[in-house]
Amino acid sequence: MTPGNLLTLAALLFTIGIVGVIIRRNALVILMSVELMLNAANLTLLTFSRMRGDDGGHVLAFMVIAVAASEAAVGLAIVIHVFRHFRNINVDDVGDLKH
Amino acid sequence: MRVGSQPKLRGPGLATLAGLFALWPSLASAQAATEYVPSTSENVAFYLLAAVTLAMGLSVVLRRNPLHGALSLVVSFFSLAGIYVLLYAHLLATLQVLVYAGAIMVLFTFVIMLLNLQDRELGEARGPVAKSVAVGVMTFLAVWVIMTAQSAVVGNFLTEPTRTPTAGALPATYGGVAGVGGALFRDYLLPFELVSVLLLVAIVGAVAVAKKRI
C-alpha cells in the first residue's frame, strides 16, 4: 500500500475512464466513465493528503464529489431531453449541430 | 503535529462503516513516531479492493448494457470507499458511499431505466480494439509521466517502492468529521459557499433542461 501503488491505481482508473469516454458511443456510459475519472482524481487527492498529514485534500475531494453530483444531474437531464427529441442516445447519431 | 495514538473513529455512522473494513487489529495498534508501515493485512486489503475497483471499472467501460455498467460502477465505488478507509479518510469514505454510490448512481440507474432502451437499440459495444488499446496506453503513459514528475516533491515512487504513506504521526482528528469539518468551515469557507451556489444552479438547470415546456 505504498503511495506508488495508490497513484498507479488512480492512474489506471483514470485511463479506463478516458478510454470509456473515447470508445463508447452511448451517452450514459460516457457519463459514467467521467465519474470514474473523477474518482481517480479523488483517490490521488486523498493519497497526497495522507502523505502530507493535511486535511486540505479531503476538502477538495469533498468539493469534487459535490461538483460530480451537479454535473451528473445536469448531464442526465440533457440526455433525457436528447432522448425525447431523437429517440436515440448514440452520440454519433445526434450531431445535428454539425455543418 | 502530535505523536499520539491511533486516531479514533468518530460517530456511530462512521464507526459502523469503517468497522466493516477495519476488523484487523493492526489498525488499533499505536503508530511509530516517524514512519507509518502498513501491515500485511492492510496490504492484502488494498490489493483486493484495488483488484475489485479495476475489474469493475473495466466492466463499466466494456459492457454493452449501460445498466450492467451502472451496477459495476456502484461496486467499484464501494471498493474505493474501502481504500479511502485504508487511507484514514473516514468521512470521505462515508460520503463516497452516501453521495456517490447512494445518490449519483441511483440517479443514473433511474435514468437508464427510464430510457428503457431495448436490446436492438443498444448498438455496438465498442469500436476497434486496437484504437482503444492505443488510447489506453498513451493515456496511462501521460498520467504516469506527470506523476513521476512529482518525484521532486514526494519522492520517486518507482525507485522507492517501500516509501509508505505519511512520515510522522497524523493529527488525531485527521480524516474524520472534526478534522475535515474544521478545515471546511475555517480555511475553505469560500469554496464551500461557492459549491452550495453551484449546487443550487445545478438543480435549477437540471429542472429547466428536462422540462417539456419552460
CB-based contact A58:B92 (threshold 8 Å): yes
Residues 6+ apart with CB under 8 A from B117: A89, B66
For chain A, the average pLDDT equals 89
Q: pTM of the predicted model, to two decimals?
A: 0.81
CB-based contact B50:B58 (threshold 8 Å): no
Distance in angstroms (rounded) separating the CA atoms of residues A27 and A5? 31
Q: Give, to the nearest 10 degrees, the angle between helix A3-23 and helix A27-52.
A: 160
Interface subset of A 72-91, CB within 8 angstroms of B: 72-74, 76-81, 83-84, 88-90
Residues of B in contact with A16 (CB under 8 A): 54, 57-58, 60-61, 136
Confidence of residue B210 (pLDDT cuts 50, 70, 90): confident
pLDDT for position A41: 95
pLDDT for position A8: 85
Judged against a pLDDT cut of 50, whether residue B23 lies above it is answered with no
Q: Which of A76, A87, A93 to mutate to test the interface with B (most CBs of B within 10 A)?
A: A76
Specify the length of chain A in residues.
Answer: 99
Judged against a pLDDT cut of 70, whether residue B153 lies above it is answered with no
> How close is the nearest chain A Cα to the Cα of B87, in Å?
7
Lowest mean pLDDT among A84-88, B47-51, B118-122, B149-153: B149-153
For chain B, the average pLDDT equals 78
Alpha carbon distances (Å) from B54 to B47, B77, B144: 10, 11, 17
pLDDT for position B137: 86
Nine cell digits for residue A71: 454535473
Tell which residue, B82, B27, B28, has the closest CA to residue B52. B82
Lowest mean pLDDT among A58-62, B35-39, B47-51: B35-39
Alpha carbon distances (Å) from A15 to A39, A41, B139: 12, 11, 6
Judged against a pLDDT cut of 80, whether residue B121 lies above it is answered with no
Distance in angstroms (rounded) separating the CA atoms of residues B34 and A49? 17
